[in-house]
Structure 1
Amino acid sequence: SPGAARADDGDATGAGGRAPGRDGKAGSLTGTLFEGKYQVGPMLGEGGMGQVYRATHILMRKDVALKVLKPSMSVHSEIVERFRREAESAARLSHPGIIAVLDFGRSLDGTFYLVMEFLEGHALTRALRDGAMDWARVCRLGVRMLDALAEAHRAGVVHRDLKPDNIMLQVNAAGEESLKIVDFGIAKLVEDGGPQLTAAGLVFGTPSYLSPEQAQGQPVTFAADLYAMGVILFQMLTGRLPFKAASTMELLAMHIQDPPPRVRDLVPGVPEALDELVLRALGKRPGDRPQGAAEMSAALARILEAAPMMPSVAAVTAPSTAAVTGPSAAAVTAPVPIPPPPPPPSMAAPSAGPGHARPGARLTPARLALAVIGVGALAGLLIFAISSMRSRKASGPAAPPAETASKAAGAAPMDAAPGMETGMGGAAGARTPDIPPPDRTRLEAALKSGDHARFSGKDKSIRKSIEALSNALRSDPALLADPALHAHLNASLLGRNHWHRQLTMKLIREHYAEASSDEVRFLLVALNDEKFDTDDRHELYTFVRSRGLSGGIDEEGYFTQQLRWGTSCEHRLEAARWFKEHGHRGNVAFLKAEAEKRSFHLASGVTQSSDCYRAVLQEAVSAAEGRTPAKAAP
């Protein structure tokens, strides 16, 4: 899914004014005097939402980072609110470890802008490319991150999107590391009661670092930031994330219920106290984590103090171009006062301790479903992965997959995963009784009204209503050609609820598996809608092509969306190849802009290099320059 567009689509620059050096490329504002006081230099980064420039305040002779919203984004209230929120959140904070916001406003031509201190350095993401870090270095950096986070929390600001991309590392002339936390664009101001910025189609937060409560759409507190810190510390110590999955849905399911691996199982040399602290930060319940960033920082400082004989860590060599602007690095690297140690927390193994799922335990699917249905865009990420993917985790001999077991029992393939209807009492491998199919008169009446939930008599259950519809189609296949059903399925595919869309796709795959191209042609309504979710649109495109349908598909629109928002190298490479074969001069500007992007976000939220498709895309640019657009049919 496209998610929330960022102005830092590359590793080089970001929303916090980060930059690897003084070089950049010319942008639309380069060379202008912005608002009569900012001489705009090279563009340091660009994304779907905006651009970041290096600029100089002409009176103060001070380099700054100028972030501007693209005009097309200024009409979206959610995006403007996020931009304003970034300014307000950071403006509340004054700490050497937090990016300083210097100015915010709207220019005479309507452009929203944000001015921040200019930083030389690089994101923690780049440092992690070298693998696991020395544990003492992790502790020192962790103290600085948590001290900055504690200041934000004291000011009533929850970051909500902590990750290595948003932590900028800097080095002073003495080779000492400092850091700054940037990008408060989706921060929650605890007392303001303002919009939560979770509208459909905009997914805020990064799945690899989301706390279990964020993944379930529950209220977000300071503890969510501490969970993200636990993930970051784990990644710094081990060189890998605690949870890895093939899809966003499975990844969030793991955050919600799977116990994290122990750091010492992967890196035996890490102190046991540090291993325990990371495990505690990754507690499934907010109350199981440290009680605050200050407490967690003090714990890291005590671990460092308790190891006076540890091997010295080589100082980081400062690059010749490094420069730190804003607060002095010394303020960041000053010794941290060590408070008296509190009583050691009760730590238990993840297999039995509070806040960690026991082996064989499953998150109740019905309980998750209640949270998922009303959560907006983030809820769509979960689909029904918890029930379908985790049901096989029960201890003992592996049960056959639910669908296979259902078929063996003569049941419908659309049956729910074990426990969905019976709650916690449902045994693994159990299934709910079939819902008796309604008669055709009731079905037709419901389809015409657009409300098939009434079939089951339980309107709050999307899964049950889809299952009731599936049973009805099974009992009377003639309904598959009903125009009312076609309109209803298209409406479901274009709906806001991702879970609903996935269940609808499952129904379509089952009942139209043997359909001809003409029989699935009605799906072009959803497939050619540019507002259709990118990943779901790819799934539908693959299905209709498998049924032999090709005519009528807006392939240029489809592959444009896949190239711009696709969440896998495979999807983007497929789009690049299409443009290589069919692109024309009208596509050249778009293709060039996409070819300049150095990275994109996978479905898991992890940043992926665009090298996997850029070469083909550059070939597509050359090929498209020699073709004229095809004339539209009369």
Structure 2
Amino acid sequence: MSTELDERVGSTLAGRFRLLRVLGQGGTGTVYEARQHGLSRHVAVKVLHAHIATSPGAVARFQREAMLMARLHHPGAVHVYDFGEDKGALFLAMEHVHGETLEAVTFREGSLPVSVAVDVAAQVLEVLEAAHALGIVHRDLKPPNVMLTGELSSPRAKVLDFGLAQVVDGALQARITASGLVHGTPAYMSPEQCRGERVDARADLYSLGCLLHELITGQPPFGTTPAAEVMSGHLYRPPPPLRQLRPQLDIPRALEALVLDCLAKRPEQRPENAQVVRLRLLRALSPSITLSQVSRGEGKKKERPAPAPQSLALDVPPELPVGVIDAGAPPGSMGVGTALASVGFRVVPCTEADTRLGDILALVIFPAPGSDALELARRVVSTPQAPPVLLCGEDDLTVMTRAIESGIYDYIPLPLDPLELCRKVARALRAHR
């Protein structure tokens, strides 16, 4: 431990945080346990390294990112209480989490049981969903930045250091040529990070793929050293499949496929967002889970029954016509047209050969069994001045993803939920207007 670290312990930062002891040190700074005056609570204070704090534009970047991090309110993200500058030192005051980093756990335990690895990754993805919705990209997702609390058989994950990568980027750019380093940890860096390019949320999905690969197999996809060889793997080599590395484990093919999709070299080849990854991840272990069951923050539930017809109260402008191709509703169920009409939509029955699309402002397709609904929807979408198209279909993530990628406005999984249907149609009408 350096003299600088020894001198800080026992001192008071910014007049309100008394630094008690060092909790850890990393590439961006040193973390102390501290007591906050006035509130009498123990917090974790991260003081950024001097070379970061004095780099051009560092203070402005730090303030911007710290304000964003303070807006991230999620039980799986460490909450930021305060931030500031004291005698040239930039600091963050955060929730003090008692637990073990994922790095320490895997160092002791090695690879984790597949079910535990998936559970941890799913919790991390929940946090990524919330962060990405605010425009926050982690940029340095790795085992030391995930804290586990509780029993290993049923852990709770906390994600650390959100947003700090953006703060240190400017400070490290000058060091890239001299030291051969780029910001981030090579074992978990996306190809675009390796090239020094601007990154978006899909870089975090790549890092999540590396993390999950290590949790299951015991090592990141391209190892950890030497850095140049690791980065070359990210850029040019295909990642080794999980089942090839651990043939003795019963790894679902769907799980292996998901990890490989996250590790695609180009961002546009990866899954669309963190929510899609989380849903695929949970379905890989429990195929009976349906898309509508796993909304943000929910756990696994039993298969939902088909909803019974009900009276739905929505404020629906009656002058807005909705086209319906309703060929596949099962007998005795509330059909699409009936559900929409019951809340006041003006329903216009259509057929697959109908060309009156200019008369409607949205189109719902409930295809007949055995028909190629996706192809029909694609044809409609490609029609000039086509309205938003909503497709009803089986509760299958692959089909849903293909539909959205084809330009379908929204996908409605079966069994049909009339309330969900009406809400999505209302949303489509608002978008079209």
- Bin of the TM-score, shorter chain as denominator length: 0.5 to 0.7
Match of 2:106 in 1: 128
Deviation at 1:168, TM superposition (A): 1.0
1:289 aligns with 2:344: no
Shift of 1:307: 7.8
Q: Using the TM superposition, give the Cα deviation of residue 215 of structure 1 relative to its aligned residue in structure 2, in angstroms.
A: 1.6
Q: How far, CA to CA, are the matches of 1:110 and 1:65 in structure 2?
A: 19
Contact 1:177/1:333 (<8 A) preserved = no
Shift of 1:74: 3.9
CA distance in 2, matches of 1:155, 1:346: 23
Look up the match of 1:97: 76
Q: Equivalences for 1:552-571 in 2 at 5 Å?
A: none
Q: State the partner residue of 2:46.
A: 67
Tell me how many residue pairs correspond in the alignment. Answer: 296
How far residue 266 of structure 1 moved from its aligned partner, in angstroms, is: 1.8
Kindly indicate whether residue 317 of structure 2 is the aligned counterpart of residue 343 of structure 1: no
Give, in whole Å, the separation in 2 of the partners of 1:200 and 1:48. Answer: 15
Partner SS for 1:306? coil
State how far apart, in whole Å, the 1-side matches of 2:210 and 2:15 are. Answer: 44
Greater share of strand: 2
**Aligned residue in 1 for 2:286:** 305
Q: Which runs of 5+ in 2 are unaligned?
A: 177-181, 290-295, 305-394, 403-433
Structure 1 residue 271 corresponds to structure 2 residue 252 = yes
Separation in 2 of the partners of 1:70 and 1:254? Answer: 30
Shift of 1:176: 3.6
Q: In the alignment, which residue of structure 2 is the partner of 1:153?
A: 132
Q: Cα deviations across residues 129-156 of structure 1 (Å, max 9, x unaligned)?
A: 2222111111111110001011111111
Aligned counterpart, 1:201:
175
TM superposition shift of 1:208: 1.0
Equivalent in the alignment of 2:215: 236
SS, match of residue 60 in structure 1: coil
Q: Secondary structure at the match of 2:10?
A: coil
TM-score computed with the length of structure 2 as normaliser: 0.60
Instruction: Please show how residues 330-479 of structure 1 align to structure 2 within 5 Å.
Output: 335=299, 340-343=395-398
Deviations 1:227-254 (A, max 9, x none): 1111111111101121137532222221
CA distance 1:175–1:261, shift in 2 (3 Å): closer
Instruction: Kindly indicate whether residue 206 of structure 2 is the aligned counterpart of residue 227 of structure 1.
Output: yes
**Correspondence 1:72-83 to 2 at 5 A:** 74-77=53-56, 80=59, 83=62
Change (3 A) 1:117 1:219: same
Report the equivalent of 2:89: 111
* Equivalent position amino acid for 2:161 in 1: D
Cα distance in 1 between the residues matched to 2:25 and 2:398: 49
Give the match for residue 531 of structure 1: none
Greater relative CO (CA pairs within 8 A, separation 6+): 1
Contact 2:20–2:34 under 8 Å retained in 1? yes
Change (3 A) 1:135 1:70: closer
Structure 2 CA distance, aligned partners of 1:257 and 1:26? 41
Flag the 1:250–1:136 CA change in 2: closer, same or farther, 3 A: same
SS of aligned partner of 1:260: coil
Q: Which amino acid aligns with 1:218?
A: E
CA deviation profile, 1:474-507 (whole Å, cap 9, x unmatched): xxxxxxxxxxxxxxxxxxxxxxxxxxxxxxxxxx
Identity score, percent? 35
What is the CA-CA distance between 1:43 and the residue it aligns to?
A: 2.4
Structure 2 partner of 1:509: none
CA contact (8 A) 2:263 2:270 kept: yes
CA contact (8 A) 2:19 2:35 kept: yes
Q: Which residue of 1 aligns with 2:233?
A: 254
- Mapped contact 2:129–2:275 kept (Cα < 8 A): yes
Query: 2:54·2:88 contact (CA, 8 Å) conserved in 1?
Result: no
Contact 1:89 1:184 in 2 (8 A): no
Contact 1:50 1:68 in 2 (8 A): yes
Deviation, 1:86, is 4.8
Give yes or no for the alignment of 1:37 onto 2:6: no
Residues 14 and 85 in structure 2, CA contact (< 8 A), matched pair in contact too: no
* TM-score, normalised by the number of residues in structure 1: 0.42
| Structure 2: distance between partners of 1:49 and 1:216 | 21
Q: Secondary structure at the match of 1:270?
A: coil
User: How do 1:612-627 residues align onto structure 2 when only pairs under 5 Å count?
Assistant: none
Q: Alpha carbon RMSD of aligned pairs, Å?
A: 3.4
Q: CA deviation at 1:31?
A: 3.1
Contact 2:165 2:184 in 1 (8 A): no
Q: CA 1:235–1:96 in structure 2 vs 1: closer, same or farther (change >3 Å)?
A: same
Name the SS of the counterpart of 1:65 in structure 2.
strand
One-letter identity of the residue aligned with 1:184: F
Contact 1:86 1:187 in 2 (8 A): no
CA–CA separation in structure 2 for the residues paired with 1:284 and 1:124: 25
Which range moves more in the overlay, 212-221 or 276-285? 212-221
In 1, are the aligned partners of 2:141 and 2:204 still within 8 Å (CA)? Answer: yes
Q: Call closer, same or farther: CA 1:54–1:342 in 2, change over 3 Å.
A: same
